[in-house]
Protein backbone atom coordinates (compact mmCIF):
# COMPACT_ATOMS: atom_id res chain seq x y z
CA UNK A 1 0.00 0.00 0.00
CA UNK A 2 1.29 3.41 -0.97
CA UNK A 3 0.15 6.83 0.17
CA UNK A 4 0.05 9.32 -2.71
CA UNK A 5 -0.22 13.07 -2.34
CA UNK A 6 -1.31 15.46 -5.06
CA UNK A 7 -1.48 19.19 -5.77
CA UNK A 8 -4.81 19.96 -7.40
CA UNK A 9 -5.78 23.18 -9.18
CA UNK A 10 -9.43 23.94 -9.90
CA UNK A 11 -11.66 26.67 -11.20
CA UNK A 12 -14.51 26.37 -8.71
CA UNK A 13 -17.07 28.16 -10.92
CA UNK A 14 -18.87 25.00 -12.03
CA UNK A 15 -18.67 23.03 -8.77
CA UNK A 16 -20.45 22.87 -5.41
CA UNK A 17 -17.02 23.03 -3.76
CA UNK A 18 -14.38 20.48 -2.83
CA UNK A 19 -16.48 18.16 -0.71
CA UNK A 20 -19.02 15.64 -2.00
CA UNK A 21 -22.52 17.17 -1.72
CA UNK A 22 -25.97 15.83 -2.57
CA UNK A 23 -26.93 18.93 -4.59
CA UNK A 24 -24.31 19.06 -7.33
CA UNK A 25 -20.94 18.00 -8.68
CA UNK A 26 -17.93 18.40 -6.38
CA UNK A 27 -14.22 18.34 -7.18
CA UNK A 28 -13.63 15.49 -4.70
CA UNK A 29 -16.29 13.36 -6.38
CA UNK A 30 -14.79 13.75 -9.85
CA UNK A 31 -11.30 12.94 -8.61
CA UNK A 32 -12.50 9.87 -6.69
CA UNK A 33 -14.44 8.65 -9.74
CA UNK A 34 -11.38 9.07 -11.91
CA UNK A 35 -9.14 7.32 -9.36
CA UNK A 36 -11.55 4.42 -9.28
CA UNK A 37 -11.46 4.22 -13.09
CA UNK A 38 -7.65 4.30 -13.09
CA UNK A 39 -6.91 1.95 -10.15
CA UNK A 40 -10.03 -0.23 -10.04
CA UNK A 41 -10.17 0.49 -6.29
CA UNK A 42 -12.80 2.44 -4.32
CA UNK A 43 -10.50 5.31 -3.32
CA UNK A 44 -11.26 8.04 -0.77
CA UNK A 45 -9.37 11.31 -1.14
CA UNK A 46 -8.52 13.55 1.85
CA UNK A 47 -7.88 17.23 1.19
CA UNK A 48 -6.15 19.91 3.30
CA UNK A 49 -9.61 21.36 3.85
CA UNK A 50 -12.84 21.82 1.98
CA UNK A 51 -13.49 24.86 -0.17
CA UNK A 52 -16.97 26.33 -0.64
CA UNK A 53 -19.06 26.34 -3.77
CA UNK A 54 -17.46 28.73 -6.28
CA UNK A 55 -14.14 29.02 -4.40
CA UNK A 56 -11.02 28.26 -6.45
CA UNK A 57 -7.75 26.51 -5.69
CA UNK A 58 -4.38 27.07 -7.25
CA UNK A 59 -2.86 24.53 -4.88
CA UNK A 60 -5.16 22.21 -2.96
CA UNK A 61 -3.34 19.24 -1.40
CA UNK A 62 -4.98 15.83 -1.07
CA UNK A 63 -3.83 12.29 -0.31
CA UNK A 64 -5.11 8.77 -0.89
CA UNK A 65 -3.97 5.17 -0.42
CA UNK A 66 -3.66 2.66 -3.21
CA UNK A 67 -2.35 -0.81 -4.03
CA UNK A 68 -2.00 0.24 -7.68
CA UNK A 69 1.28 -0.36 -9.52
CA UNK A 70 0.99 3.01 -11.28
CA UNK A 71 4.19 4.97 -10.48
CA UNK A 72 3.29 7.76 -8.00
CA UNK A 73 4.33 10.60 -10.32
CA UNK A 74 2.17 9.19 -13.15
CA UNK A 75 -1.13 9.62 -11.30
CA UNK A 76 -1.24 13.27 -12.36
CA UNK A 77 -1.13 12.29 -16.04
CA UNK A 78 -3.59 9.40 -15.62
CA UNK A 79 -6.12 11.55 -13.76
CA UNK A 80 -5.82 14.58 -16.04
CA UNK A 81 -6.61 12.41 -19.06
CA UNK A 82 -10.11 11.85 -17.69
CA UNK A 83 -10.84 14.98 -15.64
CA UNK A 84 -12.54 18.10 -17.05
CA UNK A 85 -10.13 20.89 -18.04
CA UNK A 86 -11.17 23.08 -15.10
CA UNK A 87 -9.71 20.52 -12.66
CA UNK A 88 -6.02 19.73 -13.07
CA UNK A 89 -3.68 17.59 -11.01
CA UNK A 90 -0.45 19.59 -11.16
CA UNK A 91 1.69 17.12 -9.17
CA UNK A 92 1.51 13.61 -7.75
CA UNK A 93 4.12 11.73 -5.74
CA UNK A 94 4.60 9.24 -2.93
CA UNK A 95 4.16 10.58 0.61
CA UNK A 96 5.27 9.11 3.95
CA UNK A 97 2.77 6.46 5.17
CA UNK A 98 1.65 8.70 8.04
CA UNK A 99 1.22 11.91 5.98
CA UNK A 100 -2.21 13.49 6.34
CA UNK A 101 -3.21 16.36 4.02
CA UNK A 102 -5.51 17.93 6.61
CA UNK A 103 -4.02 17.20 10.03
CA UNK A 104 -0.38 17.79 9.07
CA UNK A 105 -0.90 21.18 7.37
CA UNK A 106 1.29 23.78 9.13
CA UNK A 107 -0.22 26.74 7.33
CA UNK A 108 -2.48 27.67 4.45
CA UNK A 109 -2.52 30.76 2.30
CA UNK A 110 -5.58 32.27 0.64
CA UNK A 111 -5.93 35.18 -1.75
CA UNK A 112 -9.03 37.35 -2.17
CA UNK A 113 -9.05 39.25 -5.47
CA UNK A 114 -10.97 42.45 -6.16
CA UNK A 115 -11.31 44.12 -9.55
CA UNK A 116 -11.79 47.80 -8.77
CA UNK A 117 -12.91 49.57 -11.95
CA UNK A 118 -15.92 51.30 -13.49
CA UNK A 119 -16.70 48.27 -15.65
CA UNK A 120 -16.15 44.58 -14.93
CA UNK A 121 -13.72 42.49 -16.98
CA UNK A 122 -14.47 39.60 -19.36
CA UNK A 123 -11.39 37.75 -18.09
CA UNK A 124 -11.78 38.33 -14.35
CA UNK A 125 -15.51 37.60 -14.23
CA UNK A 126 -15.11 34.25 -12.45
CA UNK A 127 -12.06 34.89 -10.27
CA UNK A 128 -12.38 38.44 -8.90
CA UNK A 129 -15.08 40.43 -7.15
CA UNK A 130 -15.89 43.49 -9.24
CA UNK A 131 -16.37 46.68 -7.21
CA UNK A 132 -16.94 50.00 -8.94
CA UNK A 133 -16.92 52.09 -5.74
CA UNK A 134 -13.66 53.81 -4.88
CA UNK A 135 -11.71 51.78 -2.30
CA UNK A 136 -9.31 53.45 0.12
CA UNK A 137 -6.31 51.10 0.20
CA UNK A 138 -4.70 52.91 3.14
CA UNK A 139 -7.71 52.18 5.35
CA UNK A 140 -7.80 48.57 4.17
CA UNK A 141 -4.08 48.14 4.90
CA UNK A 142 -4.57 49.51 8.43
CA UNK A 143 -7.36 47.00 8.98
CA UNK A 144 -5.39 44.10 7.50
CA UNK A 145 -2.56 44.60 9.99
CA UNK A 146 -5.00 44.18 12.90
CA UNK A 147 -5.61 40.52 11.98
CA UNK A 148 -1.92 39.62 12.39
CA UNK A 149 -1.00 37.45 15.34
CA UNK A 150 -2.99 35.09 17.58
CA UNK A 151 -6.68 36.01 17.96
CA UNK A 152 -10.01 34.43 18.71
CA UNK A 153 -11.75 34.64 15.32
CA UNK A 154 -15.24 33.79 16.59
CA UNK A 155 -16.67 36.94 14.97
CA UNK A 156 -15.19 35.89 11.64
CA UNK A 157 -16.78 32.49 11.22
CA UNK A 158 -20.11 31.52 9.67
CA UNK A 159 -22.81 31.83 12.36
CA UNK A 160 -24.03 28.25 11.92
CA UNK A 161 -20.70 26.50 12.56
CA UNK A 162 -19.89 24.82 15.87
CA UNK A 163 -16.14 24.77 16.35
CA UNK A 164 -14.66 24.38 19.85
CA UNK A 165 -11.57 26.48 19.51
CA UNK A 166 -11.65 29.64 17.37
CA UNK A 167 -8.11 30.79 18.16
CA UNK A 168 -5.92 30.99 15.06
CA UNK A 169 -2.56 32.59 14.32
CA UNK A 170 -2.37 34.82 11.25
CA UNK A 171 1.20 35.25 9.94
CA UNK A 172 0.44 37.28 6.82
CA UNK A 173 -2.35 39.72 6.14
CA UNK A 174 -1.73 42.27 3.43
CA UNK A 175 -3.25 44.11 0.50
CA UNK A 176 -1.38 44.80 -2.73
CA UNK A 177 -2.43 46.59 -5.92
CA UNK A 178 -1.57 46.04 -9.56
CA UNK A 179 -3.47 48.55 -11.67
CA UNK A 180 -7.18 47.83 -11.24
CA UNK A 181 -6.56 44.55 -9.39
CA UNK A 182 -6.33 44.33 -5.60
CA UNK A 183 -5.06 41.22 -3.85
CA UNK A 184 -5.55 40.39 -0.20
CA UNK A 185 -3.12 37.66 0.88
CA UNK A 186 -3.61 35.93 4.20
CA UNK A 187 -1.72 33.05 5.78
CA UNK A 188 -2.63 31.27 9.02
CA UNK A 189 -2.15 27.98 10.81
CA UNK A 190 -5.81 27.29 10.12
CA UNK A 191 -9.03 28.97 9.02
CA UNK A 192 -12.59 28.81 10.34
CA UNK A 193 -15.53 28.30 8.02
CA UNK A 194 -15.97 31.47 5.85
CA UNK A 195 -13.20 33.21 7.82
CA UNK A 196 -11.37 34.72 4.84
CA UNK A 197 -14.58 35.79 3.15
CA UNK A 198 -15.81 37.58 6.31
CA UNK A 199 -12.40 39.21 6.84
CA UNK A 200 -12.46 40.37 3.18
CA UNK A 201 -16.06 41.58 3.42
CA UNK A 202 -15.22 43.55 6.57
CA UNK A 203 -12.20 45.21 4.97
CA UNK A 204 -14.13 46.09 1.81
CA UNK A 205 -16.67 47.98 3.95
CA UNK A 206 -13.73 49.74 5.58
CA UNK A 207 -12.32 50.59 2.13
CA UNK A 208 -15.68 52.04 1.07
CA UNK A 209 -15.82 54.20 4.21
CA UNK A 210 -18.84 52.43 5.70
CA UNK A 211 -16.89 51.17 8.71
CA UNK A 212 -13.78 52.24 10.62
CA UNK A 213 -10.52 50.24 10.55
CA UNK A 214 -10.64 50.05 14.37
CA UNK A 215 -13.94 48.17 14.20
CA UNK A 216 -11.82 45.07 13.55
CA UNK A 217 -10.40 45.34 17.09
CA UNK A 218 -13.89 45.33 18.58
CA UNK A 219 -15.01 42.31 16.54
CA UNK A 220 -11.89 40.38 17.57
CA UNK A 221 -12.60 41.21 21.22
CA UNK A 222 -16.35 40.56 21.39
CA UNK A 223 -16.35 37.52 19.11
CA UNK A 224 -19.83 38.49 17.92
CA UNK A 225 -20.56 37.77 14.25
CA UNK A 226 -22.60 40.97 13.88
CA UNK A 227 -19.60 43.11 14.89
CA UNK A 228 -17.84 41.96 11.71
CA UNK A 229 -18.83 42.78 8.12
CA UNK A 230 -20.64 40.76 5.47
CA UNK A 231 -19.31 37.57 3.87
CA UNK A 232 -17.64 38.50 0.57
CA UNK A 233 -18.72 36.44 -2.47
CA UNK A 234 -17.05 33.05 -3.02
CA UNK A 235 -15.74 33.64 -6.54
CA UNK A 236 -13.05 36.13 -5.40
CA UNK A 237 -11.40 33.54 -3.14
CA UNK A 238 -8.54 31.20 -4.06
CA UNK A 239 -6.58 28.68 -1.97
CA UNK A 240 -3.01 29.58 -2.99
CA UNK A 241 -0.61 27.46 -0.97
CA UNK A 242 -0.41 24.75 1.71
CA UNK A 243 2.74 24.17 3.77
CA UNK A 244 3.76 21.00 5.64
CA UNK A 245 6.87 20.08 7.60
CA UNK A 246 8.27 18.25 4.55
CA UNK A 247 6.20 19.64 1.66
CA UNK A 248 5.40 23.11 0.28
CA UNK A 249 3.14 23.48 -2.75
CA UNK A 250 5.12 26.53 -3.89
CA UNK A 251 8.11 24.27 -4.55
CA UNK A 252 6.15 22.57 -7.35
CA UNK A 253 4.39 25.52 -9.01
CA UNK A 254 5.79 28.67 -10.53
CA UNK B 1 -25.37 62.62 -35.37
CA UNK B 2 -22.56 61.60 -33.09
CA UNK B 3 -19.71 59.17 -33.69
CA UNK B 4 -19.00 57.05 -30.62
CA UNK B 5 -15.91 54.93 -30.06
CA UNK B 6 -15.60 52.09 -27.59
CA UNK B 7 -12.95 49.82 -26.10
CA UNK B 8 -14.33 46.29 -25.97
CA UNK B 9 -12.88 43.36 -24.03
CA UNK B 10 -13.98 39.82 -24.83
CA UNK B 11 -13.19 36.24 -23.98
CA UNK B 12 -13.44 34.72 -27.46
CA UNK B 13 -13.96 31.14 -26.24
CA UNK B 14 -17.69 31.05 -26.90
CA UNK B 15 -17.79 33.10 -30.12
CA UNK B 16 -17.12 32.61 -33.83
CA UNK B 17 -14.93 35.73 -33.70
CA UNK B 18 -15.58 39.44 -33.99
CA UNK B 19 -17.33 39.50 -37.34
CA UNK B 20 -20.92 38.44 -38.00
CA UNK B 21 -20.90 34.88 -39.39
CA UNK B 22 -23.68 32.56 -40.52
CA UNK B 23 -22.43 29.63 -38.40
CA UNK B 24 -22.54 30.97 -34.86
CA UNK B 25 -22.71 33.91 -32.49
CA UNK B 26 -20.20 36.74 -33.03
CA UNK B 27 -19.18 39.57 -30.74
CA UNK B 28 -20.16 42.18 -33.34
CA UNK B 29 -23.66 40.72 -33.62
CA UNK B 30 -24.29 40.83 -29.86
CA UNK B 31 -23.05 44.42 -29.61
CA UNK B 32 -25.16 45.55 -32.59
CA UNK B 33 -28.24 43.82 -31.13
CA UNK B 34 -27.66 45.53 -27.81
CA UNK B 35 -27.10 48.92 -29.45
CA UNK B 36 -30.36 48.52 -31.36
CA UNK B 37 -32.14 47.71 -28.08
CA UNK B 38 -30.62 50.76 -26.38
CA UNK B 39 -30.94 53.35 -29.19
CA UNK B 40 -33.85 51.99 -31.23
CA UNK B 41 -31.67 52.49 -34.32
CA UNK B 42 -30.23 49.83 -36.68
CA UNK B 43 -26.58 50.44 -35.78
CA UNK B 44 -23.56 49.04 -37.60
CA UNK B 45 -20.34 48.76 -35.59
CA UNK B 46 -16.89 49.06 -37.22
CA UNK B 47 -13.93 47.46 -35.42
CA UNK B 48 -10.18 48.00 -35.78
CA UNK B 49 -10.11 44.57 -37.41
CA UNK B 50 -11.79 41.22 -37.10
CA UNK B 51 -10.52 38.56 -34.75
CA UNK B 52 -10.87 34.83 -35.51
CA UNK B 53 -13.04 32.33 -33.74
CA UNK B 54 -11.60 31.72 -30.26
CA UNK B 55 -9.26 34.74 -30.33
CA UNK B 56 -9.57 37.14 -27.38
CA UNK B 57 -9.40 40.90 -27.04
CA UNK B 58 -8.33 42.94 -24.08
CA UNK B 59 -8.75 46.11 -26.11
CA UNK B 60 -10.69 45.98 -29.37
CA UNK B 61 -11.70 49.41 -30.68
CA UNK B 62 -14.94 49.97 -32.57
CA UNK B 63 -17.04 52.96 -33.61
CA UNK B 64 -20.65 53.62 -34.61
CA UNK B 65 -22.91 56.54 -35.42
CA UNK B 66 -26.05 57.42 -33.54
CA UNK B 67 -28.73 60.10 -33.15
CA UNK B 68 -29.35 58.88 -29.60
CA UNK B 69 -29.38 61.36 -26.71
CA UNK B 70 -27.53 58.91 -24.46
CA UNK B 71 -24.36 60.67 -23.21
CA UNK B 72 -21.36 59.12 -25.03
CA UNK B 73 -19.67 57.86 -21.85
CA UNK B 74 -22.90 56.14 -20.73
CA UNK B 75 -23.02 53.70 -23.67
CA UNK B 76 -20.56 51.42 -21.87
CA UNK B 77 -22.94 51.09 -18.90
CA UNK B 78 -26.04 50.73 -21.08
CA UNK B 79 -24.46 48.01 -23.24
CA UNK B 80 -22.89 46.07 -20.37
CA UNK B 81 -26.28 45.80 -18.68
CA UNK B 82 -27.48 43.59 -21.56
CA UNK B 83 -24.32 41.90 -22.82
CA UNK B 84 -23.06 38.52 -21.56
CA UNK B 85 -20.32 38.74 -18.91
CA UNK B 86 -17.63 37.52 -21.34
CA UNK B 87 -18.08 40.67 -23.46
CA UNK B 88 -17.48 43.99 -21.68
CA UNK B 89 -17.40 47.53 -22.98
CA UNK B 90 -14.60 49.05 -20.91
CA UNK B 91 -14.90 52.59 -22.31
CA UNK B 92 -17.18 54.67 -24.53
CA UNK B 93 -16.81 58.28 -25.59
CA UNK B 94 -17.42 60.69 -28.44
CA UNK B 95 -14.95 60.56 -31.33
CA UNK B 96 -14.25 63.09 -34.07
CA UNK B 97 -16.82 62.79 -36.90
CA UNK B 98 -14.17 61.43 -39.29
CA UNK B 99 -12.64 58.88 -36.89
CA UNK B 100 -12.52 55.35 -38.31
CA UNK B 101 -11.59 52.43 -36.03
CA UNK B 102 -10.08 50.41 -38.86
CA UNK B 103 -8.60 52.89 -41.33
CA UNK B 104 -7.13 55.27 -38.74
CA UNK B 105 -5.33 52.64 -36.65
CA UNK B 106 -1.62 53.50 -36.51
CA UNK B 107 -0.57 50.25 -34.87
CA UNK B 108 -1.97 47.19 -33.16
CA UNK B 109 -0.42 44.99 -30.53
CA UNK B 110 -1.11 41.28 -30.07
CA UNK B 111 0.06 38.85 -27.40
CA UNK B 112 0.43 35.11 -27.85
CA UNK B 113 0.53 33.23 -24.53
CA UNK B 114 2.08 29.81 -23.96
CA UNK B 115 1.81 27.79 -20.75
CA UNK B 116 4.94 25.66 -20.69
CA UNK B 117 4.55 23.00 -18.00
CA UNK B 118 4.14 19.27 -17.55
CA UNK B 119 0.42 19.67 -16.82
CA UNK B 120 -2.05 22.21 -18.14
CA UNK B 121 -3.72 24.76 -15.85
CA UNK B 122 -7.38 25.06 -14.88
CA UNK B 123 -7.15 28.85 -15.08
CA UNK B 124 -5.18 29.21 -18.32
CA UNK B 125 -7.15 26.60 -20.26
CA UNK B 126 -8.93 29.14 -22.49
CA UNK B 127 -6.28 31.84 -22.85
CA UNK B 128 -2.92 30.06 -23.25
CA UNK B 129 -1.58 27.29 -25.44
CA UNK B 130 -0.33 24.47 -23.21
CA UNK B 131 2.97 22.94 -24.34
CA UNK B 132 4.68 20.29 -22.25
CA UNK B 133 7.79 20.03 -24.44
CA UNK B 134 10.81 21.99 -23.31
CA UNK B 135 11.06 25.31 -25.18
CA UNK B 136 14.41 27.01 -25.78
CA UNK B 137 13.69 30.69 -25.13
CA UNK B 138 17.07 31.81 -26.49
CA UNK B 139 16.28 30.32 -29.90
CA UNK B 140 12.81 31.84 -29.86
CA UNK B 141 14.21 35.26 -28.97
CA UNK B 142 16.69 35.05 -31.87
CA UNK B 143 13.83 34.25 -34.22
CA UNK B 144 11.57 36.99 -32.81
CA UNK B 145 14.17 39.67 -33.58
CA UNK B 146 14.17 38.66 -37.26
CA UNK B 147 10.57 39.84 -37.68
CA UNK B 148 11.43 43.41 -36.65
CA UNK B 149 11.33 46.05 -39.35
CA UNK B 150 9.64 46.25 -42.76
CA UNK B 151 9.12 42.89 -44.48
CA UNK B 152 6.88 41.21 -47.00
CA UNK B 153 4.91 38.82 -44.79
CA UNK B 154 3.42 36.75 -47.65
CA UNK B 155 4.73 33.52 -46.07
CA UNK B 156 2.96 34.43 -42.82
CA UNK B 157 -0.58 34.81 -44.03
CA UNK B 158 -3.33 32.23 -44.44
CA UNK B 159 -2.95 30.57 -47.85
CA UNK B 160 -6.51 31.36 -48.95
CA UNK B 161 -6.35 35.14 -48.48
CA UNK B 162 -5.94 37.52 -51.40
CA UNK B 163 -4.33 40.73 -50.20
CA UNK B 164 -2.52 43.01 -52.64
CA UNK B 165 0.21 44.34 -50.41
CA UNK B 166 1.79 42.06 -47.81
CA UNK B 167 4.43 44.52 -46.61
CA UNK B 168 4.06 45.40 -42.93
CA UNK B 169 6.32 47.08 -40.40
CA UNK B 170 6.87 45.28 -37.11
CA UNK B 171 8.01 47.61 -34.31
CA UNK B 172 7.98 45.13 -31.42
CA UNK B 173 8.60 41.40 -31.44
CA UNK B 174 9.71 39.88 -28.17
CA UNK B 175 9.33 36.94 -25.84
CA UNK B 176 9.20 37.24 -22.06
CA UNK B 177 8.84 34.63 -19.32
CA UNK B 178 7.12 34.67 -15.94
CA UNK B 179 7.49 31.26 -14.35
CA UNK B 180 5.66 28.76 -16.55
CA UNK B 181 4.06 31.46 -18.68
CA UNK B 182 5.63 32.74 -21.90
CA UNK B 183 4.36 35.85 -23.65
CA UNK B 184 5.11 36.83 -27.23
CA UNK B 185 4.31 40.51 -27.79
CA UNK B 186 4.18 41.87 -31.31
CA UNK B 187 3.28 45.33 -32.57
CA UNK B 188 2.90 46.35 -36.22
CA UNK B 189 1.22 48.94 -38.40
CA UNK B 190 -1.06 46.14 -39.60
CA UNK B 191 -1.43 42.37 -39.65
CA UNK B 192 -2.35 39.91 -42.40
CA UNK B 193 -4.92 37.19 -41.81
CA UNK B 194 -3.48 34.62 -39.34
CA UNK B 195 -0.13 36.46 -39.34
CA UNK B 196 0.50 36.40 -35.58
CA UNK B 197 -0.62 32.78 -35.26
CA UNK B 198 1.75 31.66 -38.06
CA UNK B 199 4.62 33.70 -36.60
CA UNK B 200 3.93 32.10 -33.19
CA UNK B 201 3.63 28.60 -34.67
CA UNK B 202 6.93 29.06 -36.49
CA UNK B 203 8.75 30.24 -33.36
CA UNK B 204 7.32 27.39 -31.27
CA UNK B 205 8.81 24.89 -33.74
CA UNK B 206 12.09 26.77 -33.39
CA UNK B 207 11.81 26.57 -29.60
CA UNK B 208 11.21 22.82 -29.77
CA UNK B 209 14.31 22.38 -31.99
CA UNK B 210 12.34 21.26 -35.05
CA UNK B 211 13.39 24.28 -37.10
CA UNK B 212 16.33 26.72 -37.09
CA UNK B 213 15.93 30.40 -36.12
CA UNK B 214 17.40 31.38 -39.50
CA UNK B 215 14.54 29.65 -41.31
CA UNK B 216 12.55 32.82 -40.60
CA UNK B 217 14.86 34.75 -42.95
CA UNK B 218 14.19 32.31 -45.77
CA UNK B 219 10.41 32.46 -45.29
CA UNK B 220 10.49 36.28 -45.29
CA UNK B 221 12.51 36.19 -48.55
CA UNK B 222 10.61 33.54 -50.51
CA UNK B 223 7.14 34.55 -49.33
CA UNK B 224 6.06 30.91 -49.60
CA UNK B 225 3.56 29.73 -46.94
CA UNK B 226 5.24 26.31 -46.68
CA UNK B 227 8.56 27.89 -45.70
CA UNK B 228 6.91 29.10 -42.48
CA UNK B 229 5.61 26.94 -39.62
CA UNK B 230 2.09 25.85 -38.67
CA UNK B 231 -0.68 28.19 -37.52
CA UNK B 232 -0.72 28.22 -33.70
CA UNK B 233 -4.16 27.63 -32.10
CA UNK B 234 -6.49 30.62 -31.78
CA UNK B 235 -7.07 30.47 -28.01
CA UNK B 236 -3.51 31.65 -27.15
CA UNK B 237 -3.98 34.92 -29.04
CA UNK B 238 -5.19 38.23 -27.60
CA UNK B 239 -5.55 41.68 -29.17
CA UNK B 240 -3.89 43.85 -26.50
CA UNK B 241 -3.80 47.42 -27.73
CA UNK B 242 -4.75 49.70 -30.64
CA UNK B 243 -3.10 53.09 -31.17
CA UNK B 244 -4.45 56.06 -33.13
CA UNK B 245 -3.13 59.57 -33.67
CA UNK B 246 -5.43 60.88 -30.91
CA UNK B 247 -6.36 57.74 -28.96
CA UNK B 248 -4.46 54.91 -27.26
CA UNK B 249 -6.37 52.08 -25.55
CA UNK B 250 -3.61 51.79 -22.93
CA UNK B 251 -4.59 55.24 -21.61
CA UNK B 252 -7.96 53.82 -20.52
CA UNK B 253 -6.98 50.42 -19.12
CA UNK B 254 -4.54 49.51 -16.37
A204: left (phi over 0), alpha (psi -120 to 50) or beta: alpha
Residues of chain A with pLDDT under 50: none
Which residues in chain A have their CB less than 8 angstroms from residue B80's CB? 119-120
Per-residue pLDDT tens over the stretch B160-203: 777 889 999 999 999 999 999 999 999 999 999 999 999 999 99
Query: Element (H or E) spanning A216, and its range?
Result: helix A215-222
Round to whole Å and give the CA distance between A151 and B80.
Answer: 43
pLDDT at A164: 82
**Cβ-nearest to A121 among B9, B127, B180:** B9
**Cβ-nearest to A10 among B9, B122, B179:** B122
Is it the case that residue B159 has pLDDT exceeding 90? no
Same topology between domain A2-104 and domain A107-241: yes
B15: distance to nearest CA of chain A, Å? 13
CATH 3.40.50.1580 applies to domain B107-241: no
Q: Which residue of B has its CA nearest to A123?
A: B11
B254/A77 Cβ within 8 A: no
pTM: 0.95
**Cβ-nearest to B122 among A86, A123, A179:** A86
Please state, rounded to an integer, the average pLDDT across all residues of chain B: 97
CATH of A2-104 given 3.40.1190.20, 3.90.1150.10, 1.25.40.80, 3.30.70.580:
3.30.70.580
Average pLDDT over residues B134-139: 97
pLDDT at B199: 98
pLDDT at A46: 98
pLDDT at A162: 78
Per-residue pLDDT tens over the stretch B16-50: 999 998 889 999 999 999 999 999 999 999 999 99
Please state, rounded to an integer, the average pLDDT across all residues of chain A: 97
pLDDT at A163: 80
The C-alpha torsion from B4 through B5 and B11 to B15, rounded to 10°, is 60
Secondary structure of chain B in HEC code, one letter for each residue: CEEEEEEEEECHHHCCCCCCECCECCHHHHHHHHHHHHHCCCCCCEECCCCCCCCEEEEEEEEEEECCCCCHHHHHHHHHHHCCCCEEEEEEEEECCCCCCCCCCCEEEEEEEEEECCCCCCCCCCCCEEECCCCCHHHHHHHHHHCCEEEECHHHCCCCCCCCCCEEEEEEEEEEEECCEEEEEEEECCCCCCHHHHHHHHHHHHHCCCCCCCHHHHHHHHCCHHHCCCCCCHHHEEEEEEEECCEEHHHCCC
Reported residue count of chain B is 254
Per-residue pLDDT tens over the stretch B66-101: 999 999 999 999 999 999 999 999 999 999 999 999
Which residues in chain B have their CB less than 8 angstroms from residue A115's CB? none
pLDDT at B232: 98
A212: distance to nearest CA of chain B, Å? 29
**Which sequence spans correspond to the domains of chain A?**
2-104, 107-241
Q: Which residue of A has its CA nearest to B91?
A: A119
Query: Element (H or E) spanning A75, and its range?
Result: helix A75-82
Cβ of A10 under 8 Å from any chain B Cβ?
Answer: yes
Amino acid sequence: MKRIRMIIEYDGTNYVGWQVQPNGVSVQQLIEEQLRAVTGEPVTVNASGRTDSGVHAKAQVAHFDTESKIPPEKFAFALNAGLPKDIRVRYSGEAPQNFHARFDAKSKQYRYTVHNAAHSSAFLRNTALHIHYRLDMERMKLAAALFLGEHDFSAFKAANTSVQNCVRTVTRSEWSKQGEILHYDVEANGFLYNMVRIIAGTMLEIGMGRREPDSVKKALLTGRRFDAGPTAPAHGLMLMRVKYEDFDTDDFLK
